Amino acid sequence: MEKITQGHHGSLSLDMVQDNISKLKQLFPELITEDASGTKIDVDVLNELVGTQVIDGDKERYNFTWHGKAAARRLAQTPSTGTLRPCKEESKDWDTTQNLFIEGDNLEVLKLLQKSYHKKVKMIYIDPPYNTGKDFIYKDNFKDNIANYKKITGQIDDEGNPLKTNPETSGRYHTHWLNMMYPRLRLARNLLRDDGVIFISIDDGEVSSLRKVCDEVFGEENFITSVIWQGGRKNDSRRFSVVHDYILVYVKNDSHLSEREIKWRERKEGLDEVYKKVSELREKFVVDHEKASKELKKWFNSLSEGNPSKEHSHYTKIDAKGVYYGDNISSPNYRENLIFEYKGYQPPKNGWRYNREAMARLDKEGLLIFPSSKDSRIQFKRYLHHTETWAPSSLFYKDRRAASKSLTELMGGDFFDFPKDTNVLARLIDTFTEENDLILDFFAGSSSSAHASIELNVRRGKENRFIMIQLPEATGENTEAFKTGYISLADISKERIRRAAAKLKQNNPDYQGDLGFKVFKLDSSNIKPWDADFDNLEDMIAAADDSLKKDRTADDVLYEILLKYGLDLTLPIEEHILAGKTVHNIGCGALMICLDDEITLDVVNAIGDLKKELQPEVMRVVFKDAGFADPVVKTNAIQVLKQFGIDDVKSI
């Protein structure tokens, strides 16, 4: 029985270096060689396979580099020694929700998600700390980032801070910021689907550096645009009043989108209310479209200025197909072939917009409006449902003060600076996602992205899911947030989702969608590391019988196993009592986990019988290494399970 261990260099997260070597081995087996230190890549063979002119050994070339870049790349490839521990008491609708809130250093969390969410995320939005010369840098530690994380979040002692000062006087002003962002972006790219897209908010300070980094990580050919967001109208600068930020937009694979002719369209605001009103009028007046049209015009006139529905007030006519307006069909330029009489109506000066065949087709489809007087012009029926979307704009205005005011009202206090506007994020989510898509924000902040996602789900009937990741940065004893009871930014973030969900449910009592989230917290592995030396060897051997840490629960271990196997953390888990022991069933029998003590062959046989009942294509079984009643049971368990067709049996 293979044992899952946590050695000095071991990890349950995906080892990206070995994963890359495996991929190369599949493509070019002859590249792989071995020596006393392990598996290696033969560079000479690589030269022969691709041609020496492809290998770039020249140092004088165009590239973007900085001090620490190589170490940052290695940091992204170093497996995590941590795990994610479930926190049911801080969660909402734990048993049913498909949403995740993960509290921890996003570098380590992204590593831990590599197996379970590889190429599963449709959209990433992040608003990383801007490089303003103030505290912002996540203090990554190449040797042991988990220990570093526990120190800076106060889990070991009070030394250190969660953030690192990056003054403009520092010779590495840009370097520190790039070393923070680079490994996180590399890991994030792995999680994007082939049709995935990432949005990154940034200001003038690092937009040029971020663009170069993203060109390297995502590929210059996958850059889409730089969206300009005007967030205010102020005049408080000596030279220019800077009232805008940028959102860089990259896709995972632009050629994939082109091959499938995937186009993005943004739905115009205010349509839902218009369609709702039209539906009411059609029901009220049945087939009397003229009365319905008059009432619709009155309704448009009653709307306040600024109401998004008012932008569609020219769509005032109703028929059986929908709501429309009469559009001009005269040609903008003179065309001889467009000068012709149609059903007694004379053409405009430049002719019709359509030729005879097209006019006849539109007429047959009932898309032309014929006035009673032959001296009047024919018009085209321009339906709202034909023009309700447009290509997303690379420039928009949205006052940032509205987002701050809205969050303050929701939370009952001013606890968070510069939150992102949920309406803007909802527009992005609506435009770039379909149904049941996964949205990731690994600089969650106040969880504006989560708020926007669930709000859009309620409004549009979508079922998108989210993963929020936020460092539990201390709020500070003198802040209003701390005095109210919010010890960390993660606490504010979680409470914001709870309150937003409660408000949405109150306003939409019939809504049955997902308004919950599961909370997980980053911690060291549940498995004891083997870290023996001359002084502690005897104690390590004595404790070897029990590989799990004493302060960890079965649920802790259960979710660490899910991460190891690359399974979704929101998969339903069913419990079975077999021969008096608890067995966890994940994925309808795909994975069975028993972490109880005193396991007998009765339990093992019951698992085999359950496989017959559930009939999964493959069943994997995990036991606790010290959980068997005696060594004989442990030895025989493998053979018994093989008789049931279960070959993948491990202990932890």
Lowest mean pLDDT among 164-178, 295-309, 381-395, 624-638: 164-178
pLDDT tens for residues 4-22? Answer: 665 544 445 677 777 788 8
- pLDDT for res 157: 45
pLDDT band with cut points at 50, 70 and 90 for residue 390: confident
pLDDT of 540 above 70: no
- pLDDT for res 489: 94
Average pLDDT over residues 111-116: 96
CB 335 within 8 A of CB 326: no
Average pLDDT over residues 133-161: 61
Q: How far apart are CA 191 and CA 102, in angstroms?
A: 16
- Cβ count near 221 (within 10 Å): 11
- pLDDT for res 163: 54
Lowest mean pLDDT among 205-219, 532-546, 574-588, 629-643: 532-546
The model's pTM: 0.82
Q: And the tokens for 254?
A: 């632009």
Residue 258: burial class (beta carbons within 10 Å; 0-12, 13-18, 19+): exposed
pLDDT of 643 above 60: yes
- pLDDT for res 492: 96
Q: Which domains does the chain have, with CATH numbers?
A: 2-76 (no CATH), 110-266+391-523 (3.40.50.150), 271-387 (no CATH), 544-651 (no CATH)
Residue 38: burial class (beta carbons within 10 Å; 0-12, 13-18, 19+): exposed
pLDDT of 315 above 70: yes
pLDDT tens for residues 190-221? Answer: 999 999 999 999 999 899 999 999 999 999 99
Average pLDDT over residues 538-566: 79
pLDDT tens for residues 255-265? Answer: 999 988 888 88
Going from the C-alpha of 28 to that of each of 44, 50, 77, 517, the distances in angstroms are 13, 11, 21, 43
- pLDDT for res 11: 46
- pLDDT for res 286: 87
